[in-house]
């Protein structure tokens, strides 16, 4: 009976841990989606200003962590910003470094005033109370803020449940006989420190537990220090778990969080003994006793280790942000081509390191990718017209909305890039090319808008239970076939070298699209007059084939811009 109860209790604790992980991931998703809907130009400018330089990024991470008193929340928030496209990966790295420094402030409080329990989940209900009325408002930005806050409340509840289900410090007393193995014991304590931090989801809680064990004489100064180093690695698990539901850039941001601390572990372990001797001297000088002889001084020694390690690790790596970014991009490849869409590939914010001519080449490559994204929207629109299951339609609607947000962001970023490049040029021919590129990205962004509007029309049709006849559906698919041909010509022209643009073929396809639009309009009016389908269905049908013709107009504009017909 006792064995069955113990097994049942263990099963419940395991289910609590798994359920808390699910809540954590759901909270991350909700926060990210809320941010994407909330992210206007103002919020983006604030985030860019906060991370305008590496030192500003470190300060942002430090201050945020001091305010929320939990580095895991700061790291998950940072990953959310990266996932939502509000913060570039390189800008996120200093924020994560600052978060690790910020969490050391709590260690000072632990050493000075004892170990206080954390009840972060207690803030979840007030946050949810603020979020609820925002979710009920009609204003889009208010609802987005409510979704963001509710996601944060779920995240806090998840952290609270994870701590409730985690083993307490008393369970580590079994380590008493495992701490005399020399270097192996050091590695064991690093591993256990990381594991325990993963379980309690807070390096501060884990640090407090180790301080308690040190005061009880369970482990000594050197092994406790090894556990602290492991905690710095373990605290990165929260962001990595949360990023599993994010895009590739969110996973890279979470990965760099781990890489920063793992690199720190690699340089700190070989220097551990002289490093601890230096801290020993400092504690003895400040507090009048050595942590090697007085267990009560170990808490101060571990606090100084925690602070100095994170500060030194930041100073050593802050100058290698580019190398860290390239490393995690290599470590975390995109799962699919669409996984990379929310970010520019060929150009970045600090563009002025390139020559103006090379900048134009990189912009041309980015615009080609922009065109491919809009071409993918045509394929998604075709699938949406053929989809029968509600879940499939919902997934396609979400993809089209995501692509439309991507096209908006790409127009903004590429346009800003071209504008800065034009300020450095004194060449009239290059200025003409820049004007053409600005015209092209405007047309491509408008194509993204039209496809998104078409998806909303189809969504409304399904909500109102309107149906197309087989002829209507086939006509729309035929129109999209022509658009696919036009996209192929446009992409060929974007890839072509100057002077090799096939403008005559582009005009021929555009004329075919216009003729088919005119033909469908005449047939549509006759069908309405004959009562073949109802007026509501006809209005939706007319809206869709007219929108397809507008897409064709923008595609020919792209080819014309390439031969300076703008």
Quick: pLDDT tens for 350-359.
434 445 566 6
Q: In the predicted model, what is the mean pLDDT of residues 307-334? A: 86
Q: Report the distance separating Cα 325 and Cα 332, nearest Å.
A: 11
Q: What is the pLDDT of residue 113?
A: 46
**Do the beta carbons of residue 74 and residue 61 sit within 8 Å?**
yes
Is the pLDDT higher at 524 or at 439? 439
Q: Would the pLDDT of 43 be above 80?
A: no
Identify the structural domains of the chain with CATH numbers, from first to last: 1-38+119-165 (no CATH), 67-118+167-200+202-331 (no CATH), 348-562 (1.20.58.220)
Query: Which region among 366-380, 408-422, 472-486, 547-561 has the lowest average model confidence (pLDDT)?
Result: 408-422
Q: What is the pLDDT of residue 362?
A: 72
Q: In the predicted model, what is the mean pLDDT of residues 164-190? A: 58
Q: Would the pLDDT of 170 be above 80?
A: no
**What does 464-520 look like in DSSP terms, one character per residue?**
TT----HHHHHHHHHHHHHHHHHHHHHHHHHHSPTT---HHHHHHHHHHHHHHHHHH
Q: Would the pLDDT of 511 be above 90?
A: yes
Residues in the chain: 566
Q: Would the pLDDT of 338 be above 60?
A: no
The most confident of the ranges 106-120, 257-271, 325-339 is 257-271
- Mean pLDDT of all residues in the chain? 75
**Displacement of CA 429 from its chain's centroid (Å):** 39
Q: What is the pLDDT of residue 354?
A: 45
Q: In the predicted model, what is the mean pLDDT of residues 396-407? A: 86
Centre a 10 Å sphere on the Cβ of residue 145 and count the other Cβ atoms it contains: 20
Q: In the predicted model, what is the mean pLDDT of residues 152-176? A: 59
Q: Would the pLDDT of 101 be above 80?
A: yes
Backbone phi, then psi, for 61, in 5-degree steps?
Answer: -65, -40
**Neighbouring residues of 284: CB distance < 8 A, sequence distance ≥ 6:** 290
Local confidence band at 499 (pLDDT 50, 70, 90 cut-offs):
low
Q: In the predicted model, what is the mean pLDDT of residues 451-463? A: 87
Q: What is the pLDDT of residue 171?
A: 47
Local confidence band at 512 (pLDDT 50, 70, 90 cut-offs):
very high
**Do the beta carbons of residue 80 and residue 74 sit within 8 Å?**
no
SS (H, E, C) 426-449: CCHHHHHHHHHHHHHHHHHHHHHH
Q: What is the pLDDT of residue 14?
A: 64
Q: Report the distance separating Cα 510 and Cα 505, nearest Å.
A: 9
Structural Rg of the chain based on CA atoms: 29
Q: What is the pLDDT of residue 341?
A: 47
Local confidence band at 20 (pLDDT 50, 70, 90 cut-offs):
low
For residue 343, give the nearest of 95, 85, 36 by alpha carbon: 85
Q: Report the distance separating Cα 413 and Cα 550, nearest Å.
A: 24
The most confident of the ranges 19-28, 68-77, 92-101 is 92-101
């Amino acid at each position: 009976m006792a064995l069955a109860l113990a097994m049942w209790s263990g099963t419940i604790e395991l289910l609590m841990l798994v359920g808390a992980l699910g809540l954590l991931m759901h909270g991350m998703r909700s926060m990210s989606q809320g941010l994407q809907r909330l992210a206007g130009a103002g919020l983006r400018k604030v985030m860019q200003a906060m991370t305008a330089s590496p030192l500003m990024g470190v300060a942002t991470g430090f201050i945020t962590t001091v305010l929320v008193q939990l580095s895991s929340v700061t790291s998950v928030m940072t990953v959310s910003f990266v996932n939502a496209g509000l913060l570039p990966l390189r800008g996120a790295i200093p924020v994560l470094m600052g978060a690790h420094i910020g969490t050391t402030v709590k260690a000072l409080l632990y050493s000075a005033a004892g170990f206080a329990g954390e009840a972060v989940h207690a803030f979840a209900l007030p946050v949810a109370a603020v979020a609820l009325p925002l979710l009920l408002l009609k204003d889009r930005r208010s609802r987005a803020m409510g979704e963001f806050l509710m996601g944060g409340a779920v995240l806090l509840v998840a952290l609270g449940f994870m701590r409730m289900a985690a083993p307490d410090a008393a369970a580590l007393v079994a380590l008493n006989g495992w701490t005399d193995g020399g270097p192996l014991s050091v590695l064991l304590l690093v591993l256990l420190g990381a594991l325990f931090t993963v379980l309690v989801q807070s390096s501060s809680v884990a640090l407090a537990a180790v301080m308690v064990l040190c005061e009880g004489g369970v482990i000594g100064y050197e092994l406790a220090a090894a556990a602290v180093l492991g905690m710095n690695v373990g605290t990165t698990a929260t962001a990595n778990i949360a990023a599993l539901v994010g895009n590739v850039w969110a996973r890279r941001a979470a990965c760099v969080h781990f890489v920063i601390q793992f690199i720190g572990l690699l340089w700190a372990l070989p220097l551990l003994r002289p490093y601890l001797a230096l801290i020993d001297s400092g504690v003895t000088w400040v507090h009048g006793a050595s942590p090697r002889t007085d267990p009560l001084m170990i808490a101060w020694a571990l606090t100084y280790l925690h602070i100095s390690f994170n500060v030194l690790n930041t100073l050593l790596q802050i100058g290698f942000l580019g190398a860290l970014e390239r490393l995690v991009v290599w470590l975390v490849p995109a799962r699919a081509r669409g996984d990379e869409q929310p970010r520019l590939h060929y150009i970045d914010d600090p563009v002025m390191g390139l020559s103006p001519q090379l900048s134009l080449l990189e912009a041309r490559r980015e615009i080609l990718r922009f065109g491919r994204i809009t071409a993918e929207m045509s394929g998604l629109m075709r699938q949406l017209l053929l989809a029968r299951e509600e879940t499939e339609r919902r997934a396609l609607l979400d993809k089209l909305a995501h692509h439309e947000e991507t096209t908006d962001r790409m127009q903004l970023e590429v346009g800003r890039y071209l504008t800065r490049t034009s300020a450095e040029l004194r060449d009239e021919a290059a200025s003409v090319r820049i004007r053409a590129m600005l015209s092209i990205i405007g047309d491509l962004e408008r194509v993204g808008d039209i496809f998104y509007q078409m998806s909303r029309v189809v969504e409304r049709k399904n909500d109102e239970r309107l149906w197309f006849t087989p002829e209507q559906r086939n006509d729309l698919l035929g129109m999209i076939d022509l658009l696919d041909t036009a996209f192929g010509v446009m992409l060929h022209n974007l890839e072509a070298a100057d002077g090799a643009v096939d403008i005559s073929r582009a005009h021929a396809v555009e004329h075919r699209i216009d003729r088919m639009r005119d033909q469908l309009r005449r047939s549509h009016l006759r069908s309405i007059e004959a009562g073949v389908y109802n007026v509501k269905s006809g209005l939706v049908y007319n809206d869709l084939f007219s929108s397809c013709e507008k897409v064709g107009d923008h595609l020919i504009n792209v080819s014309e811009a390439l031969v300076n017909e703008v």
